[in-house]
Structure 1
């Protein structure tokens, strides 16, 4: 494995991590902003008011986003496995 192949694997891993986590992070951002706006307008500064709705919405979003996350992670894992097999067989295909 060359240095450029290793860098490609790390880049793909980081990109996959961003793609998988971005929808949940954006949902958390929107929910947090909505709750903060509600607290500012009503002047309620209760800690559970921010924690409980955000946890419930994040859990629900995760349930709905699991197929999307799973497909991206599966594609990435299959690509890594293919690269491992290619390294194991060598350039001439004789297995070592």
Structure 2
């Protein structure tokens, strides 16, 4: 196996991780920002107020986008296993 092939596999895997995790992280960040602005406007300084909405939105995002995420990961693994004979040369 060549160094170029290994670096290409790693590059594709990292790009896949970024693609799959980005929607969850962005939505969680936006909800956290909205809750923080709400806390600042109302002077409520409860620590758990930011935790519960983020967890709920994260679960909802996983429910809605889980099929897409699973399909992307499965396609990548199928591609890796399909080209396995090229990698062991």
Q: Is 1:61 the equivalent of 2:61?
A: yes
Q: Which runs of 4+ in 1 moved over 6 A?
A: none
Greater relative CO, 1 or 2 (CA 8 Å, sep 6+): 2
TM-score (norm 1): 0.87
Q: Is 1:77 the equivalent of 2:77?
A: yes
Displacement, 1:87? Answer: 3.5
Which structure 2 residue ranges, 5 or more long, are not aligned?
none
Displacement, 1:85? Answer: 3.0
Which structure 1 residue ranges, 5 or more long, are not aligned?
91-96
Which structure 2 residues correspond to residues 1-96 of structure 1 after superposition, within 5 A? 1-88=1-88, 90=89
TM-score (norm 2): 0.93
The residue number in structure 2 matching 1:93 is none
Which whole-Å deviations, capped at 9, do the CAs of 1:21-71 have from their partners, x for residues lacking one? 000000011101000000010010101111111111111111111011011
Measure, in 1, the Cα distance between the counterparts of 2:72 and 2:18.
Answer: 11
Structure with bigger gyration radius: 1
How many pairs align? 89
